[in-house]
Structure 1
């Protein structure tokens, strides 16, 4: 691989215009193909294994053309002055709603006790994923129909269709984050040209990946939030990968290496870290389909496309741009051979002095770091999840306004009733009546509507209204009680389905964690020829991810920082978050692990001094890892300002995890633990050494290979470390 990457770097640097032209052709072809053949993102909540799915399928079979087979919406009409809503206004509004495409019926209004609020149920004959309704088209049609429903009336939209309509991407926070990231890179790299290069390369890769995600949506369901998550991750890792290559290139330029050769060596050395870092991210994303929910597969595929695209852009466009720009990447005074304006006394870099200080007293440093991360992770023990609840939407959104009006006028449970399906053909009318009596006797069920008998007479359906909203912590227990008390019935509806999904994802979390950790450890063991290093890396990564869970729990669920993230009340953590955040963060954390351990192992192979290699490795990567982490943190915080709850929580959690990973973990725990372990860090049993494939994460900095069979001193044969060819 080293030879291939060296040739790739040399070829692209020597012929930059050809490389740029090839990328332009690829981007244009991908965009045109996506425009002609691409699909539209849409969510799929039919989750195999969820008990509520059986009830939904029964409703689709016995109520064709109803909201069960298609989709539905709620129109809330409210008089702010408290006067009764007029029958004429309701009749006119019902007529206009009935004229909307795919609307099969508008149920008679349900009035509040004081009649100042009316609730209209609108039924469509197609699901929310139908092209005529997806992407906000269905909501726009409803908004047109309710316009002018009475100048003194407040009309809001809720229910299935509006609630599942994708939130518009704001983009303001992301732009601010990118600008701040650019400023950080200018301060570190010294020139606007060098700082702008990683950003431009990442954007080029994202442009191609966006077309890939659109094409993916044409062949499979892609979640409406998957493209945003793919952009978030792709932008972060793309800047990181390009920044690593640019930093290595600048090192070689400052050492007097010619421009083309410097780009080739940077691609051969740092490029291998990029390849394997991207591979580990992809390995982590491979765990998402194990969650058993179609949405997760789309997250994994979309984000994987983004990671591959930005990694390919970094490996080709960075050396090409370096070859094109030449020494203009260096600050002007360095290009002219002038001394710095403010000469600094000759002393070791800050990162080297820091690593040496940690290595001198590893135990207290390690204990302090573990205490900090443990304290931040503690709230995660109280983590409670729920997939999606409209009460978490922005206060000025029509769905949130509808939710609040329904809760105030009809009770909080009216926003998430349980749909109970009784097999009338099996139990008869007496059994249906008995089920209704049992349902009314259940604690925390305040109202039961129905039964509604299907046209074929096979099933009867009740609507049971809980005493609390769908995201309330008591909902899972109520659902379990109803299913236990009523034999031979199916409990379904959006509240039941989302609760089942939450339980399912909680059960599958450990399967995903085990798969991702095990596969990543095997890959790291092959890279670094060690058993101890992968185990240590996995444990430290799990600690930083646990701390991120804790911070998200404290901010969103405990309400410790809701004002800071623009929310007006505490809320559960999204059920989509734990697995999604783990898979992405584990891969991103391994990026830094690969960057750092590559340098440490390089010095270890040369010197055989375990402690000195740790200090030198941290010194050699501290600046670039800190810069890359700072860039990623500000980018993720930009996404934390979005309106979509999943994106907001994911942005904050990933920013916290990356910050801790690049500071507490990489700058304290890694040097402290590796100093304590000493030579044992590189222990690998001989039998396992023979089984593992030979993979080297990064060649020596000067571009020379050390040849096969090179060994480092060791008191025991099993501590021998071979350098792959």
Structure 2
């Protein structure tokens, strides 16, 4: 590690040039190639996938592409008035001529008569595409929205709903720039030096910019969700500033201790640099653990996020040393440089406030442990009522066309019209057709069904007949009642109607896909958690040569995850303080978010665990006194951990200012987890528990010590401890 960092320091011009070439080159290539983000969910064995396959086989009108709705409503008169129709018909003709549009069903045709609401104030036209949404360019999606809304003037409102309409308003980075500005302010206060403040921001920006470009290029090789760039930036900016902060802090401490810039950087490399390397690899391992869920929707998010973290780690270990070469002693404030020149080097001193805090915890470890656990458990209680599900367009930001169309459909037809179910199956004989009709008859009186149009029987491209039955639920797509209806159709209604006929009918549609996706993720979540926790435990055991340190770290991270999930449940599902972040409605938590958040926060929390415990381990090897090691480790790192946590919280929280609900949840979940981790767990619970365990913290069976590979964060004697103030260890006791 020392050789790598010092090489980059000596060849600063080369390293900076390489990073600039990488950033500019990747950005240009990404812009030239474009991005092909796809929110594709592949569940080959599910009912919804089988239904979609059958719909694609309908001869001459296969629903292989997405279907949009143009919803219009009038505030005076009815939609059947001549003046309204005179504005709608030409608009629909223009839509029919747009790229990829295969069919437009107007409510003014016999085929679309059911698309006019009972009070005749709301109606919709169905627009069928010959390609899925991800194959429709954002500019073409925007063209559909613009053409449709051009007819809306005065008393006529026209909006568009569907996956293609959503591509016209992709997720944004929200207030990420505000977060960076706030982070810069914290760095300036922490260091008192403008140059020290700029360094972490530059390294994070360069690495995240490169990471986002790589994610854009990945879209041409694998399925990458639309929200991936925002998640990539979220993770990269958060850890990027922190990693640079850890290194700059240790480097500055070395300069103040009288070391030359090269010596100070060498010490920073073998201490904080190794901590950054291990922490970054742990975050990547946690994120890549999402592959154990075996759902292609998560692969792009996992790869993009891990690439961003890997690049920020590399930038901290290569680009940052090169930039330090250019700045030299200017990373210190003028007052610090003047004091160093006048008074000479000074031994590193512990933060007085953090020293007093640490000694207080050591004196009262049991009350400190109980108090911190009480806070965590209280925050985690809402997690027990978390419901996983895909939020519908009713939770889109106000002012978007998808949100407006959702509200119009719900007002005119009922909320279920925003997410119809589609029952499909082969109906080649009279018995099969009769079974389909029996299903339709059963649904006509179902208490959870708002409407069921007449069943359609269409020839299949490969021969035979395919039955298509549309079902409009009485509840919104995201409601639990709708998921219950899907299960009722599959478990009771369809089997009862088709018994003895050999007919197989499948429940599909976007809402059914969401139900299957949620169920698949819920079933695989325990395995994912076990894999991430297990791998993290092994890595920490290898580094710290201990069993209790990784065990307590794993348990504490699970508690932090529970508390973070409790907070997002209270805000986004219960509605607590939702108005403060622009959420005027509540809904379930997207099923993939617990996977993403757990991987992210479990990995990120390891940053502080490694940074704190590594410093405690340094003091333990030097003093062989557990209590003194805990006090000195916390006193030396408390200020840095607090500053790093504040920065990460500000960056994560800034994403809450964005309009996309998924990005809001991810930002708030990670921000709350990091804040709780730094303030309660690392600053209170970890030192209290380590004080209670005493020397047992560093116990490792000899047989296991021989088996585990050697990987230490600090190098004996490389950190310059010989020049530190000598401290006589206190007599050993059972609690040390």
- Number of the residue aligned with 2:58: 62
Question: Helix, strand or coil: the match of 2:519?
Answer: helix
1:289 matched to which residue of 2? 291
Offset from partner CA, 1:350-398 (integer Å, 9 cap, x none) = 1121111011001111111101110000000000121231010112111
Aligned in 2, Cα 1:64/1:691: closer, same or farther, shift over 3 Å? farther
Select the residue among 443, 447, 466 that pairs with 1:439: 443
| 8 A contact 2:173–2:655 mirrored in 1 | no
Structure 2 residue matching 1:155: 3-state secondary structure: strand
Q: 1:150 and 1:20 mapped to 2: Cα distance?
A: 55
1:419 aligns to what? Answer: 422
Moved over 6 A (4+): 712-716
Counterpart selection for 2:485 from 478, 491, 508: 478
Contact 1:259 1:326 in 2 (8 A): yes
The aligned residue for residue 536 of structure 2 is 520
Whole-angstrom CA distance in 2 between matches of 1:22 and 1:493: 49
TM superposition shift of 1:82: 4.3
- Of 356-365 and 257-266, more deviation after overlay is shown by 257-266
Partner of 1:350: 353
1:668 alignment partner, one of 663, 684, 691: 684
> Are the equivalent residues in 1 in contact too, given 2:36–2:134 (CA < 8 A)?
no
**Are the structure 2 counterparts of residues 239 and 518 from structure 1 closer, same or farther at C-alpha, using a change threshold of 3 Å?**
same
- After superposition, the Cα gap between the structure-2 partners of 1:258 and 1:199, relative to the gap in structure 1 and judged at 3 Å, is same
**Match of residue 346 from structure 2:** none
d(CA) in 2 for partners of 1:59, 1:43? 20
Change (3 A) 1:360 1:149: closer
User: Could you say which residue in structure 1 is the equivalent of 2:500?
Assistant: none
What is the distance in 1 between the residues matched to 2:509 and 2:216?
Answer: 30
2:154 matches 1:138: no
| Secondary structure at 2:581 match in 1 | coil
Whole-angstrom CA distance in 2 between matches of 1:499 and 1:315: 44
Once structures 1 and 2 are overlaid, which stretch shifts more, 677-686 or 5-14? 5-14
User: Size of the alignment, in residue pairs?
Assistant: 700
Pair 331,120 (structure 1): closer, same or farther in 2 beyond 3 Å: same
Deviates more, 1:618-627 or 1:566-575: 566-575
1:136 deviation in Å?
5.0
Residue 453 of structure 1 and its aligned partner are, at CA, apart by 1.5
Gaps of 5+ in 1: 341-345, 707-711, 720-725
Which residue in 1 is equivalent to 2:366?
363
Distance 2:435 2:56 in 1: 22
Instruction: Please point out which of 659, 668, 684 is paired with 1:652.
Output: 668
- On the 8 A contact 1:283/1:516 being kept in 2, the answer is yes
Separation in 2 of the partners of 1:566 and 1:142?
A: 24
Instruction: Measure the CA separation in 1 of the matches of 2:539 and 2:485.
Output: 45
- 1:467 is the counterpart of 2:474: yes
Corresponding position: 1:23 with 2:19: yes
Counterpart CA distance in 2 for 1:307 and 1:650 is 16
Q: In structure 2, how many angstroms separate the alpha carbons of the residues matched to 1:414 and 1:79?
A: 19
**Superposition TM-score, scaled by structure 2 size:** 0.91
Secondary structure, aligned partner of 1:257: coil
User: 2:678, 2:234 → 1: CA distance?
Assistant: 18
Counterpart position of 1:72: 67
1:149 deviates by 5.3
- Which residue matches 1:111? 116
Match in the other structure for 1:640: 656
Q: 1:590 to 1:170 in 2, by over 3 A?
A: closer
Q: For 2:185 and 2:80, how far apart are their aligned partners in 1? A: 56
The residue aligned with 1:548 is 564
2:575 is paired with a residue whose SS is coil
Q: Rate the CA distance shift 1:150–1:249 in 2: closer, same or farther, 3 A.
A: closer
- Name structure 2 gaps, 5 residues minimum: 108-114, 344-348, 496-503, 723-728
Q: Deviations over 1:625-647 (max 9, x none)?
A: 11110000000000011111111
Task: Give the alignment's TM-score, normalised by structure 1.
Answer: 0.93
Contact kept, 8 Å, 2:261 with 2:329, in 1: the verdict is yes
- Aligned-CA RMSD value: 2.3
Q: What does the per-residue CA deviation read over 1:160-196, in whole Å, with 9 as the maximum and x for residues that have no partner?
A: 322465534154x211111111111111111111011
Alignment of structure 1 residues 191-206 onto 2, 5 Å: 191-206=193-208
Cα offset, 1:587, TM superposition? 0.3
The answer for the alignment partner of 1:679 in structure 2 is 695
Tell me if the contact between 1:574 and 1:645 (Cα under 8 Å) persists in the aligned partners.
no
Q: Distance in 2 between matches of 1:179 and 1:29?
A: 26
Q: CA deviation at 1:291?
A: 2.0
264, 269, 272: which is aligned to 1:270?
272
